[in-house]
Structures are given as C-alpha cells and as structure tokens.
Amino acid sequence: MVLHAVFDRAYVLLLRGSADSTADRLDADFARAAASGLPVLVDLAALCHGNQEFLVLLIDAHRHGAELIGPLSPSLRQRLAITGLTDWFTVHPSLTAALHHLPPPAAPGTPEL
C-alpha cells in the first residue's frame, strides 16, 4: 500500500507491507511525487520487503533527490547491504527528522535563486 502526504516542504510517499508485485504502480507513485516539484521523502518504516524492481525504483528516485525514512526492516537493510547501497542513500530515523533536514520554505514572493 502506498499513501501520499503533501507537506509545505516535501512530498512524502508512505509505503506499507511488501513492494514485491507493485513495481508498475510504484513507478506511477514516484512519478506523481516527482512531478510535485517538492523534495520527495520515501517512508519505508512499515515496509517489510522490497524486491529488486523496487530497489531499482529507489535508485531512480535517489537520482532525483529522494531521501528515505526508516527505520528500515532487516530484509531491506540486508538488500541494501548486499547491493553495496547502504551508504548511498540518506536514511532519516523519522519523518520529523527528515522534514527538519530540509531547507526552510521560501517566504511568499521571494524569488528562487
């Protein structure tokens, strides 16, 4: 299951259960999040397992700046370790920590540099 949450500073995808057979749907979920123009946070705290296709989606999301929220399940931690990606991803311990890590929103009417 994937839940979408939009905050003023981030688009959060909350993944629950297993991401083994939902790669096509997840691809659309990641595209929707990226299209928001907001930083993307992927909450994996309640994800028990993700297959190789899911890992490819995470890698692609990371290339577009997405960061992860944990704690990660033992299965997912092991998959990242086996593939050598453990240190590649930024994993925040909680949604609150991830939101605090983001730069503050620009004041209304302030041009972006």
CATH number of 12's domain: 3.30.750.24
Residue environment code for 62-98, b if the CB has 16+ CB neighbours within 10 A, otherwise e: beeebbbbbebbeebeebbeeeeeeeebebbeebeeb
The domain of 44 spans 2-96
Predicted pLDDT of residue 50: 84
In a domain, 49, yes or no: yes
Per-residue pLDDT tens for 30-69?
A: 999 999 999 999 999 999 888 888 888 899 999 888 999 9
Quickly tell me which residue has 């399940």 as its tokens. Answer: 73
Q: What is the pTM of this model?
A: 0.86
**Rounded average pLDDT over 74-80:** 90
- For position 109, what pLDDT does the model report? 64
In a domain, 109, yes or no: no
Q: Judging by DSSP bridges, how do beta strands 40-50 and 67-69 pair with one another? A: parallel
For residue 103, being part of any structural domain is answered with no
If one compares 24 and 102, the residue with the highest pLDDT of the two is 102
Q: Per the structure, how many domains does the chain have? A: 1
